[in-house]
């Protein structure tokens, strides 16, 4: 039986991949939850699987597809998962979704993994062991400045025009679906930074935050405060992630973005 969090993440992602092989992205029917968000049989099937495989005695559980009973608040170690982050993209057949598994100890994300079967990517990492992409060591971007780099922005936010203020920036804004997938790509050096000023839940970002930290990067809410996970209210104000050496450039870009975003919300 797998014992370490990383071993358990690998085992769970492999099992989730088998479950998802029964579904064809772009050919899956979706229902709407009370929140208006889509949910599919794949979301529920993977959720049931992860709930069966991951938590053990004394460990908490928080998932988008499980009613939160708050028992997790008494646990030092908590699994925070999104069985399918980016359901909209999954339904449309856009390869920007993933299974997202985060492991939290005393509020800190210490291990995480994402699986995107459609793009053929598995990105896993943890404290003191770094990050791998498809089994190979990965590292964050070493670009000295954000100029000429790639920032992963939200596909839905871009459609709403919330990134238009950065159209003339000296870096590329690349719209993409799942926030967990975006965070994982930055952790693995496939892009230079990502952020969202839109509220997200812990299950959206726990795995990605763990990967960013495992890669030696910075991850925090838009006001600059690192997130303590396993809160009673799992909603975050947003999230920012980047290599440490890009902090000045990223914060300058976010400051410009935030002005336009606040105007849109007024």
Indicate if 9 and 134 belong to the same structural domain.
Answer: yes
Question: What CATH code is carried by the domain that includes residue 212?
Answer: 3.40.190.80
Task: Answer whether residue 144 is part of any domain.
Answer: no
Tens of pLDDT along the chain (266 residues) come to 668 999 999 999 999 999 999 999 999 999 988 888 899 999 999 999 999 999 999 999 999 999 999 999 999 999 999 999 999 999 999 999 999 999 999 999 999 999 999 999 999 999 999 999 999 999 999 999 999 999 999 999 999 999 999 999 999 999 999 999 999 999 999 999 999 999 999 999 999 999 999 999 999 999 999 999 999 999 999 999 999 999 999 999 999 998 866 655 54
**Residue 244 belongs to domain spanning:** 150-265
Indicate if 85 and 126 belong to the same structural domain.
Answer: yes
d(CA 48, CA 37): 19
d(CA 140, CA 60): 30
**What is the model's pTM?**
0.96
| Strands (DSSP E) found in 95-238 | 98-105, 108-116, 121-126, 130-133, 136-138, 150-154, 172-176, 193-196, 200-201, 218-220, 235-236
Asked whether 239 and 221 are in contact (CB, 8 A), the reply is yes
Domain count, the chain: 2
Indicate if 115 and 167 belong to the same structural domain.
Answer: no
Indicate if 14 and 123 belong to the same structural domain.
Answer: yes
Out of 138, 161, 176, a domain closes at 138
């Amino acid at each position: 039986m797998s014992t370490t969090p990383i071993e358990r993440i690998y085992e769970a992602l492999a099992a989730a991949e088998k479950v998802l092989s029964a579904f064809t992205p772009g050919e899956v029917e979706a229902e709407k939850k009370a929140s208006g968000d889509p949910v599919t049989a794949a979301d529920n099937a993977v959720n049931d699987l992860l709930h069966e495989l991951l938590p053990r005695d004394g460990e908490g559980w928080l998932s988008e597809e499980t009613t939160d009973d708050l028992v997790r608040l008494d646990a030092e170690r908590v699994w925070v998962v999104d069985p399918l982050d980016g359901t909209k993209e999954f339904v449309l057949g856009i390869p920007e979704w993933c299974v997202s598994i985060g492991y939290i100890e005393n509020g800190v994300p210490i291990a995480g993994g994402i699986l995107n079967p459609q793009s053929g990517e598995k990105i896993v990492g943890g404290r003191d062991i770094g990050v791998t992409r498809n089994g190979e060591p990965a590292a964050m971007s070493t670009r000295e400045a954000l100029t000429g780099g790639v920032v992963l922005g939200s596909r839905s936010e871009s459609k709403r025009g919330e990134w238009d203020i950065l159209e003339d920036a000296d870096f590329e804004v690349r719209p993409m679906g799942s926030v967990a997938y975006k965070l994982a790509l930055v952790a693995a050096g496939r892009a230079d930074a990502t952020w969202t000023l839109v509220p997200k839940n812990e299950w959206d970002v726990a795995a990605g935050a763990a990967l960013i930290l495992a890669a030696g990067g910075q991850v925090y809410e838009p006001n600059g405060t690192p997130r303590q996970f396993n809160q009673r209210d799992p909603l975050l104000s947003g999230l920012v992630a980047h290599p440490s050496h890009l902090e000045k450039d990223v914060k300058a870009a976010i400051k410009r973005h935030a002005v336009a975003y606040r105007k849109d919300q007024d």
